[in-house]
Structure formats: C-alpha cells, structure tokens
Amino acid sequence: MKGINKLQAKWGVGAAQFWLIIITFALGGSLSGRLTSFLLKLVFLEKNWAFWLIYPLFLTILWPFSVLFVSFFTGQFSFFKGYLGRVGGKLFGFAGDQGANLGNSVTAATLDEVIHVAIFASGAGSNARKIIEYFEGAGVPGGLGVAGGYGLGADAQPGANLHKRIKVSLIVCNVPTAGVLNIAKEKGIPTLIINKSEFASSGYVQSLRNAEINFIVLAGFLWKIPEVLVNAFQPGTNNAKGIINIHPALLPKYGGKGMYGAHVHEAVIAAGETESGITIHWVDAHYDQGDIIFQAKCKIDATDTPETLANKIHALEHSHFAKTIEGLLK
C-alpha cells in the first residue's frame, strides 16, 4: 500500500486515475507481446534461438505504440504522452516534441521552444475556444510565427525559424458536464478531470508535468488555486512560465472569494459604477491578488443590466485575452 501511495504522489494522480494507468500498462504490455509473437511467427516457423533473440527487440519497439493505443481507450493519453516523452528524452537525448517532429521537413535544429499551455475552465468555455483558435494559427501566413502552433503551412521552407510556438495542449476541468469539454473533444485536445480533494493536496502538479505543461491559463475556473500548484509554476521553475487569470472587473475592486460571473456584474451595477472591465493578472495563493498584467475598460450605461454588462465584458475578454498570453510568452 505504501508503494501505491508513493506512486500516486509521484505521478500526481488520484486513486481512480492511478488504477487506469496501471490497467493501461498491463493491457499495453499484453498487446505488444501478442503483436510481437504474431509478427515473428510470420518470419519464423518455430520458436527457435533466432526467434527468442529478436523477440525482446521487437517487444521494446512495439511497447510504446501499444501503450499509447490502449491509453486512448482508458483516457490516459496525456499521461502516457508525457511519460514516454521523458523516457525517450533520457534514452535518445531529445525532448518529446522535438522527437515527434524529426520526420518533418524542418530539422530539429530549427525548432525553437514549444510552449505547452493548459487552460483551466469550469463552464461553457467561450474564452477557451477563442484562445485555442487564436493559437491554431488563424491569420498567420503559412502557420508560422508565435501563434503558429504545430502547423507547418504550405509556405514553410526547410530551415525556417519557427521561434516560440504556443500550443494549447490540455484542458483541465472540475465539472464533468462542462461545455468546455465538448470544445476540447472538437479540437482534439486532451482533457484532465479533477476532483477537489486531490486538487487541494497535490494540485495535479505531476499530471501537468507529464503533459509537459509550461503555462497555465485560468479561463472561468472557479476553484482557488492551491499553493502547491502556484509554487510549482513559478516562472523559471522546471521550465514553468507562470499562471494567469482573467477577472471580469477592474481589480482590486470587486474581487475575492465569491466574486465571479454574474455576482461581479450585479455588484458593480448596484454600486453605481460608471465603468467596468477586465483584469488579467498573475495568480498567487490568494483570490484575485496577484500582480496586474493588463486591464481594459468599458462604459456602463444607465440602461445596463448584469446581462448586458456581461456581454460587454465577454467582448473585452475575447478581444484581449489571447493577445495578452501571446505577449507574455514571446
């Protein structure tokens, strides 16, 4: 039992995910063994010395592919992508993303830093969608540049400088029925469903590292970020670049526990404010108290309701959030 607890802590996963990982290991190993035997039987009519000499080599080659295949069905693809990337890096001396791109016309020497972003969201995910689509490369000739994601467009030439590439690599959600999960499925982005007790204790730090996440964006995420996660993603710590949040008001006013969504807009209008806006800020261990990065304002008309003000705020969020992320990560 102690060994199991140590592994859970090391991987940063809860009990349910831990056993899904173990099952994936087992099924992946079994599948690779069966595939190896099948392929070698096509070459060797009997299990002679040559069969057993080559068997371990084929098993080693097929095992990662088998495990990744099984992980799609157990929902653990992001974990095994990170796990196998680290193993490959230790064996062959390259990072997982560079290894995956060695077959491209652009050589590994031209590949600058890939910044993997995790978006934390609890609801419909309108901000998440805007960020994802911004970094898919829309409006960037040939898919190059900071917002180019992994796309190598038709104009890309061997030796082109890709600079820093920003990729939304994970959606983290605390509500199993949230609309943001449908967006993730549509866009083919791995997801991580979290529970409150495990989040408070481990912050799922190891799961995020397994997915090679460098930067965290809170986009309508309603839980307080635990100190363990804040500390783990301090800029410069293990290639981390920080955690940011967007708040639907002009901090330091109308922030803190319970001030989210409609509650904020109701409070702003009730106070007779003539303007509101958005605040993008660094995340620390306290609600809405991190250093301010960017603010944008909108006018509040006498006829505005919390609903109409929310629409104005959403427009500001959609206009500025992704661009601010891009500016921070250049």
Active site members: 247
Phi, psi of 80 (to 5 degrees): -75, -25
- Cα distances from 295 to residues 122, 290, 320, in angstroms, run 23, 13, 9
**Sheet with 292-299, side-by-side order of all strands:** 191-193, 165-173, 114-121, 215-218, 243-247, 275-282, 292-299
Instruction: Report helix angle 15-43 to 2-11, nearest 10.
Output: 90
Instruction: Report helix angle 49-74 to 15-43, nearest 10.
Output: 140
Please, what's the largest Cα pairwise distance for the chain? 87
Q: Is beta strand 275-282 parallel, antiparallel or unpaired with respect to 243-247? A: antiparallel
DSSP codes joined into one string, 249-264? S-TTTT-STT--THHH
Torsion of the alpha carbons at 111, 62, 82 and 106, rounded to the nearest 10: 10
